[in-house]
A and B are shown apart, each in its own frame.
Chain A
Amino acid sequence: MFDFKRITPGAAIGLFFTALFLFAALFAPWIAPYGKAQIVGGVWEPMSSQYWLGTDNLGRDLLSRMIYGARTTIFIAAMATALSFSLGAILGFTAAVVGGWPDTVMSRFVDLLMSIPTLIFGLVVLSVLPTTIITLILVMGLLDATRVYRLSRAVAVDINVMDYVEAAKLRGEGMGWIIFREILPNALSPLVSELGLRFIYAVLFLSALSFLGLGVQPPEADWGGMVKENKDGIVFGIPAALIPAAAIAALAISVNLVADWVLNRTTSLKGGRG
């Protein structure tokens, strides 16, 4: 499906950094030089051969916290994206295929949810509920699912009127076959690119929540929270807050580059061999 010989430079860069972040996230306990909550030196020590990125506001090794932070951030964002996609896509496809009042009810409910600004909605819910990783994933996944629902429904409505779907209905196929075998494979291209985007939104949303103190709670490390912890250092010219911020930006850009590439590779109507 993917031809790595004809890869574009942009995609290569994107793939490299995405792979790097994923590697850090997966193998954090083995590659991090120190523990994530281990105080190893003075406050805000500069970069040195001992502490590659310096230390943070409590004297913990910044590189180790960055690596553990990648783990937390990417895990929560990935789970939230997975949740929003399974939920949003299945409901969106169902709405498009079934039509009628189930479609109207679901679509108007989604409109209602979308009319409330996501961040404010998230803040309200999270300030009431206990802040655990599960609630974070659920809240982010549900809020994002509304966007995925919109897109999936729009794509599926177009596919639903194609003759091959009609042929399947005439054959007597059930809803499951029509959604998963006829519509889903043909809706995949726009959904894959949306997947990249939504993942990034999840990272940004999580970082924003953590920065505001409602996301991942200390001593757990995550990039948004690390910006918050180290932000006071900026006044004294200490770059510790900029490093997690740069990591968030780098992850966002590289995942988008990969998503673009995947989209370009799969949009041509060459069946599964595109």
Chain B
Amino acid sequence: MTRAIPLLIFGTILMLAVGCTPDHLMSTFDPVGPVAAEQKKVWDYVFWAMVFVFVTVLPALLYMCIKFRRKEGDPIPAQVHGNRNLEILWTVLPIVVLAVAAVPTLNVLRFVLEPPANSIQVNVTGHQWWWEFEYPELGVKTANELYVPVGHPVQFNLMSKDVIHSFWVPKLGGKMDAIPTRTNVMWYQADVVSPEEGFYGQCMEFCGTSHANMKLRVHAVDSDEFDQWVEDQTEPGPEAEELSELAAQGKDHFENLDFKATYTDGSVSQQRCAYCHTVAGLGISGARTGPNLTHLASRGTLLSAMVDNTSENLADWLENPQVMKPGSRMPNPELSDEQTAALVAYLQSLK
């Protein structure tokens, strides 16, 4: 029993040392903006209060087990039924402590839930299993990877196309659910430039088969780079003349090729890429069933930040979406190798 104490302490220190590693990609111990920072302050406050209770109550319990352990011939202890003052004390004391703790909690609550008025607006729509992003003021429509300017608040208006999702980028702050029938509001602000692959985020409300694969990235960049990004993103997709022969063929497939689409529920129909995916500037445009692909090649990742954006991954994906992302709503297009190669060349030209 006594050996348990050092073990317990050692274990706790070890866990703290290894666990609170802020360099981990989704660590909540590494806030990079005011929302996450305020939340961490509240956490720190509660954490030390918890540590205090832990190191007083548990050793006391252990001490009693050792000190008052029954020995041969011990007399029967005094039959104490209670002590009114003591009972009042340990009812009132926690109330006072909790009342004190409630003040910063509620203050921060207001701060994190209510976006500043000058925020950049981003409409976020959750889909099984990807994120649709729209900057209504800037005319940008994209998916799965966001850009935000450093030092500027961004307001997210969360919606859902199907089931409930939840939007979370731990280094920027807490999460909020995206629920069909409502628009929830939250905000983040990044105060540092993100690493090249962006800050990691993930869907946090269980949303079906590929819930685990519904991720996202947020790139925090300085304002010049952000303006440049906005400018690039508002460009339409390339014309056929600007493309290589193969890519131009891919563009034609994207718009005009009827393929046999097999869905996860076994249903089959004739589909075209452009029926579900938008590339701005094409004849058919405005589809929102699948991610907007107008600037797919400018993104670092594919399949809601599941894999790196490479031609090989794109080709594997088109081969059979179900293999890479179980349950995916994208039907199996059953393309020939030539068609796949042309489409990959086209999609990789969408800078």
Do A and B come from the same complex? Answer: no
Binding site for B on A (CB under 8 A): none
Binding site for A on B (CB under 8 A): none
